[in-house]
């Protein structure tokens, strides 16, 4: 199981939506470009940007800028690209050039405000934070940062009055309350700080929408109470944090400090740190699939103000991991100092990123060293075991998990992962008599854990035992994680294995809608289509799976089915199925193909067909959502309706690829 930063320190949830206008771009396709012209350089930059190769994108944009220094679109791209890569000072000339451009001032003027904060020019800060166009998010950021600038200028009363007067949606309350309490302490209004910290800590409902900001607020509250001599109150606040998100390392470290009678330092000591905290809080609240670019941007603004912040570096590393950029993630983890409470987590994540780069020997040595430092750290066992599993070294993984279990005196809910991973290791070793008790123990500790429900349920169905109970477990997992494409695929494939093909089609279509670019899920849907007589669509799905770089087994199966078809027989229902762990510990199902039918393939079209159903569309090379909306709905502006109907797009128009299956709205509206 890959340990994600967010799962270890309870980071990342949606507190608000960020809606920025964007132009629908073309479906990804190879394109030859030249850097000897403005157009060539610009197109090369756009392609590099879509591939998330920001260093190359910046280089091409700089080339384009040399051809046309006055082009504001190129300047904007350079401004955002340079800040996203942490090259803040290089971005400032573009910020100054764009400071009066309303469409980009939320970024240009924010950069200039951050620069003024670094220089403690607090009057300039307040001027730069005045925007002509502002969303709710912009108003929250500029309002809170203006309050901090007023405090930096020496006017605590004005700062508090400014923050108190801020109004906006309900989701403002947590952020406004937290920063008002921080400012109140620094302004010397201790009773007001005590009152507001208490109100924020008691609002767990707001915390569920922005857990990282909420937990940092409680951490700040506990430190404040300890500095006021209220040790009991401080420990009680930390208890609230434990009930909300147990095992948070910074909370545990602060508790040790307070219990030892030591005086904790202020988490946010001045105006510059306060503004960095604003940007960090909003970045973590916005962290969601598809929003990584915006999150990274705000985190880099925060890092420009506070480059030594452990919390900011950890979050930047997590964003790099989400974007499969292991080298960048490692560079951020290496910045965590040895005396940081987050150092142990950073070292584990660093080892996992080495494994992502397939530097397995380095990863193993690094994680073994971490384990030697703390042999009771279950996270270290999970990390090293995960690296063994990546290499299919399940025997060493199982032996390692045996050592981990031996060190657990009284298993707690958080220990379910050790038993779950030990179960997977034994299942892969085909030692089911050892695997099954581990899955059951994991469910005993964590009864509604979706991954465990899914794995055990599917294993039973696959072995043709406990069929009804197994299906119930998978259905429960899908109910808990309705947007998890792997779990929904597992449910669909379980129906397939049970011969309930119509049910299988329904769930597998849903799985492919959630994860359209996964070859296994598309291959499964093809099998299900064939079984219900939709053979033209089946051949399309198999062809489509082959375009997604499947592994050798899936590729061979799909090619065989395209040559020969798929026989509907008892042999098909009893085909061998291997459960394989997917991203994040969920599982995908890899199937052996059954006997094919040659005559159906002969009748299949030579090219990928257009879906017959009027409410679906298969993306063709070069199409954008705008093109599709014009062609199928008669109005390009209706591309927004297509986004709303297809969760797999993550609210973005630029993630479509050729062959993707999109649900369309009614064309007659």
pLDDT in tens, 272-311: 999 999 999 999 998 865 678 889 999 999 999 999 999 9
DSSP 265: P
Q: Where are the alpha helices (DSSP H) in 103-248?
A: 105-118, 122-128, 136-152, 156-164, 172-187, 190-201, 204-209, 211-227, 231-244
Identify the pLDDT of residue 290: 61
Digit-coded pLDDT (tens) for 308-325: 999 999 999 999 998 889
> What would you measure as the largest C-alpha separation in the chain, in angstroms?
84
pTM metric for this prediction: 0.74
In angstroms, the CA 152 to CA 134 distance is 24
Which of these, 7, 25, 10, 9, lies nearest to 652 by C-alpha position? Answer: 25
Cβ atoms 472, 495 nearer than 8 A: no
| Assigned token pair, 40 | 């060539």
CATH 2.40.30.40 for the 271-344 domain, yes or no: no
pLDDT of residue 588: 31
> 616-663 belongs to which CATH class?
alpha beta
**Which residue is it, tokens 């991991």?**
321
Strands 616-618 and 661-663, bridge-based pairing: antiparallel
CATH 3.30.1490.20 correct for 448-609: no
Phi (first) and psi of residue 663, to 5 degrees = -80, 135
Q: How many CB atoms lie within 10 A of CB 548?
A: 19
Range(s) of the chain covered by CATH 3.10.350: 616-663
Regions of the chain with pLDDT less than 50: 1-34, 568-614
CA separation for the pair 38, 316 (Å, rounded): 33
Residue 655's pLDDT is: 60
Residue 366 structure tokens: 């690094």
Q: Are strands 577-581 and 587-591 parallel, antiparallel or unpaired?
A: antiparallel
Measured distance CA(604)–CA(540) in Å, rounded: 9
Q: How far apart are CA 652 and CA 376, in angstroms?
A: 43
Q: Check: CB of residue 428 under 8 Å from CB of residue 394.
A: yes
- DSSP tally for the chain: helices H, then strands E: 36, 4
> CA-CA-CA-CA torsion for 19, 24, 28, 31, nearest 10 degrees?
-130
Instruction: Give the C-alpha separation, 111 to 91, whole Å.
Output: 8
Q: Are 597 and 565 in contact (CB under 8 A)?
A: yes
CATH of domain 38-259: 1.25.40.10
420, 398 in Cβ contact below 8 A?
no
Residues 526-570 have pLDDT tens digits of 999 999 999 999 999 999 999 999 999 999 999 999 999 987 433
H-run or E-run covering 579: strand 577-581
Q: Where in the chain is the domain with CATH 1.25.40.10?
A: 38-259, 271-344, 448-609
Residue 6 host element (H or E): helix 5-9
What are φ and ψ of residue 607, in 5° steps?
Answer: -120, 170
């Amino acid at each position: 199981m890959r340990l994600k930063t967010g799962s270890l320190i309870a980071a990342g949830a949606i507190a608000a939506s960020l809606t920025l206008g964007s132009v629908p771009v073309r479906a990804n396709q190879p394109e030859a470009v030249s850097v000897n012209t403005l157009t060539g350089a610009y197109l090369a930059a756009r392609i590099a940007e879509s591939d998330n190769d920001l260093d190359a994108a910046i280089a091409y944009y700089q080339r384009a800028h040399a051809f046309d220094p006055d082009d504001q679109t190129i300047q904007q791209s350079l401004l955002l690209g340079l800040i996203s890569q942490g090259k803040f000072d290089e971005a400032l000339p573009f910020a100054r050039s764009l400071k009066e451009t309303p469409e980009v001032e939320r970024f240009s003027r924010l950069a200039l405000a951050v620069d003024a904060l670094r220089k403690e020019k607090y009057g300039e800060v307040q001027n730069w934070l005045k925007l002509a166009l502002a969303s709710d998010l912009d108003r929250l950021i500029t309002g809170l940062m203006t309050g901090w600038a007023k405090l930096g200028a020496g006017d605590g009363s004005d700062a508090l009055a400014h923050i108190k007067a801020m109004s906006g949606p309900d989701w403002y309350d947590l952020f406004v309350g937290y920063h008002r309490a921080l400012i109140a302490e620094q302004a010397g209004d201790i009773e007001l700080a005590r009152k507001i910290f208490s109100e924020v800590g008691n609002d767990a409902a707001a915390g569920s929408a922005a857990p990282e900001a909420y937990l940092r607020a409680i951490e700040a509250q506990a430190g404040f109470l300890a500095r006021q001599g209220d040790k009991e109150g401080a420990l009680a606040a930390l208890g609230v944090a434990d009930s909300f998100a147990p095992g948070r390392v910074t909370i545990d470290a602060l508790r040790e400090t307070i219990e030892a009678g030591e005086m904790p330092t202020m988490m946010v000591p001045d105006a510059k740190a306060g503004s960095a905290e604003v940007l960090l809080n909003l970045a973590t609240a916005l962290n969601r699939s598809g929003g990584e670019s915006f999150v990274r941007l705000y985190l880099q603004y925060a890092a420009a103000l506070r480059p030594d912040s452990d919390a900011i570096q950890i979050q930047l590393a997590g964003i790099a991991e989400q974007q499969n950029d292991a080298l960048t993630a490692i560079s951020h983890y290496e910045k965590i100092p040895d005396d940081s409470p987050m150092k142990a987590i950073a070292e584990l994540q660093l080892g996992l990123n080495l494994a992502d780069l397939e530097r397995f020997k380095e990863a193993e040595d690094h994680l073994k060293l971490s384990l030697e430092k703390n042999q009771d750290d279950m996270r270290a066992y999970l990390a090293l075991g995960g690296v063994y599993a990546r290499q299919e070294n399940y025997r060493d993984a199982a032996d390692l998990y045996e050592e981990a279990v031996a060190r657990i005196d009284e298993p707690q809910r958080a220990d379910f992962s050790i038993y779950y991973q030990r179960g997977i290791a034994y299942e892969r070793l085909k030692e089911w008599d050892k695997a099954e008790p581990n899955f059951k123990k994991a469910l005993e500790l964590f009864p509604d854990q979706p991954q465990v429900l899914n794995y055990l349920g599917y294993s039973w169905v696959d072995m043709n035992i406990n069929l009804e109970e197994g299906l119930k477990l998978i259905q429960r997992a899908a109910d808990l994680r309705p947007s998890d494409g792997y779990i929904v695929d597992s449910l669909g494939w379980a129906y397939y294995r049970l011969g309930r093909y119509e049910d299988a089609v329904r769930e597998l279509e849903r799985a492919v809608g959630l994860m359209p670019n996964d070859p296994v899920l598309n291959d499964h849907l093809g099998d299900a289509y064939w079984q219900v007589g939709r053979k033209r669509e089946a051949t399309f799905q198999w062809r489509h799976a082959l375009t997604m770089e499947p592994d050798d087994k899936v590729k061979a199966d799909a090619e065989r089915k395209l040559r020969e078809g798929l026989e509907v027989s008892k042999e098909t229902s009893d085909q061998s199925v291997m459960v394989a762990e997917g991203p994040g510990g969920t599982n995908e199902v890899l199937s052996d193909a059954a006997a094919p039918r040659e005559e159906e393939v002969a009748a299949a079209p030579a090219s990928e067909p257009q879906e017959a159903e009027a409410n679906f569309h298969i993306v063709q090379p070069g199409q954008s959502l705008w093109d599709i909306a014009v062609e199928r709905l008669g109005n390009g502006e209706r591309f927004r309706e297509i986004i709303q109907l297809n969760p797999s797009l993550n609210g973005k128009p630029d993630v479509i690829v050729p062959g993707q299956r999109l649900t369309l709205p009614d064309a007659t509206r």
